[in-house]
Structure formats: structure tokens, C-alpha cells
Amino acid sequence: MTHFGDFAPLCHQVPSYPWCNLFYRQLQHHNASALTGASANASSAPVGINPECGIELVGHDGSLANIANIIACALSMIVVVLLVIWTSRRRAAVGRVEFRLFLVLYFLTLPFQLLSTGAFLQQGSTALTVITAIHAGLVAATFWALLANAIVSTQVVEDGTLSSIIPFNFFVLAFFVATGYIALDVGFTFTSVFGPSDPSSDLHSTPLFVLTSIWPGAAAIIYFLIMTYVVLGMLNEVRPMWYFVLAAVLFVLSQLDFFLLSKVICRGAAHKVDGSFVATVLETASVTVLYFAWRSITEESWEDDMYYPR
């Protein structure tokens, strides 16, 4: 029976699910006999734990690694760099500094996603475990930054000032450190607090599950609700709301693709690619639409640029 906090179903059924890398390392050192099928040989094992479908390590049996998602991540990084530049030019925009920080954090998740799901590094290796833990920390921090942008939009605190930036960065660091440490402890089992899983086959870690699965979804929902209030309630605008709706739809589609269609694509492509590249494209499209949503409700510049320089 599956319990809350179990990663076993996800690691078995969802190709390229990055947090499985942590449990592979854990099983390798505490119950290696649980690694069977495609996961039995670390030198060729795909991302996942005994996955139904997965992309084998680069170079094994002609594998080109997760080439489709590698390209998607690279292109997404270029898009996000452009968004950061365009955001920086909007000097009078409310929440400019905070939104730029969100974009920077999202940008940082992309190379770590590329490495943790790209089938570049051997399963169970120290490098892959550490990179996956950093990726987990960045994801948790990024969704805090998203939520914080919604809070700033209400003007509870003045954007771009120390009263906004200090708590913003404090919680970014807190989410990154806490999630990263928990992920490292799951993988390396420094202590018995966060691992090993008992029984090991459940791949269980409630804190990791909450921070990497529940928290991102909850933060996205709360963000959407707050922005709905800001746009419809405070600004009395309707048109910008459609941007936020579109961004939400794209995000939901990215998750549906990743968790439901990825295995179908993987099997149809003979284990050469999976649906992770579609999810990456949709997530980046969602972030891009969020930029246009933010742009539609903010001013571009002051009449006199000498005021309130940042």
C-alpha cells in the first residue's frame, strides 16, 4: 500500500523523475538487491528506480542521453536570459527586482535539471546525488520566489526596498538550504532522521515529498489566487487576468505531460526520449507568459529616471 511521502510509484512509473536519483544512492548502499531490471547495473541505469521506461546512460547501447530535454533546457535558458534583460529595462515596474530574482532562480534550475535528468552522470554517483540535492533546493526556493512576487504585488511592503528584499532573500536561502540538506540526507543518509526509508522499497521521505511535490503546487495555487485578487480586486482590470489564466493552464499541462504522458512518449520513442522535454517547454512558456502578465499591470518607466534609482 502506498503512503503519503512514498516515491516508489513515481520512481517506477515516471521517466526522468529527478528525486529518484537520491533514492538510488540510498538503496545502493543499504539494500542493493532492491535494484532490479534496468536499475540493476549502475553503469547504464536510467533515472528512476526499476523504471518501466527510461533513457539509459549516455553512450550505452547508442544512447544520446536525454537529448530532447537537454535541447529544451538550453533553449529555455536563452529565453529566460532575454526575460531577465527585458525585466531589468522596466525601471518603474512594481516588483521589478523581485520578479527578476524569480527569473534568475528559474534560470538556475534549468542547468541542474539538465544534469540531474540528462542521463549524463552514473546513477548512485556522488556528483549526481549532490547535483540532484541542489536542484531540489533551487526548485523549492523558486516557488517561494514566485509566491513572494504575488505578496509584493499587493504592496503590503514597498517593492525593491530592504523591507521587501531582506525577507525575500532570507526565505529563498531558507528553502534552498532546508530542502538541499534534506535531499542530501536522503541520498547519503548522514543521519537516520530523513533516511534510509523503512521499508527501503517504499522510497519514503515525507519532508522531501512535501518540499518537492506539495509545496510547489501549493505555492502556484496561492500565487494565482493572490494575483486574481490584485488584478480583479485592486486594479479592476480584466485583460491582464487572461495572461495569468494562460500561464496557469500551461503550468498544469506541463505537469500532466510529465506525470501522465512521459511514459507513453518514452515507450513510443523506444526509450530514446521521454516527455520531460515537453514539460520543460511548457514550464518555460508559462514563465514567459507570467512576464507578459506582470508587464501588463506595471509601468515601464518614470517620467524622470532620477527618482528612486535601483
Q: What is the pLDDT of residues 226-273, one digit of tens each?
A: 999 999 999 999 999 999 999 999 999 999 999 999 999 999 999 999
pLDDT value of position 300? 63
Judge contact between 76 and 285, C-beta under 8 A.
no
- Cell 527501503 locates to 200
pLDDT value of position 310? 40
pLDDT value of position 141? 98
Alpha carbon distances (Å) from 283 to 2, 22, 269, 307: 28, 23, 22, 36
ω into residue 111 within 30 of 0, thus cis?
no
Q: Give 129-134 contacts, CB < 8 A, sequence gap 24+.
A: 129/21, 129/22, 129/25, 129/184, 129/187, 129/188, 130/184, 132/18, 132/19, 132/21, 132/22, 132/183, 132/187, 133/22, 133/180, 133/181, 133/183, 133/184, 133/187, 134/180
Of 146, 77, 64, 283, nearest in space to 275 by CA: 283
All 3 cell numbers of residue 209? 515529498
Under-50 pLDDT residues of the chain: 302-310
The whole-model pTM stands at 0.94
The residue length of the chain stands at 310
DSSP 56: P
pLDDT value of position 60? 85
pLDDT value of position 301? 53
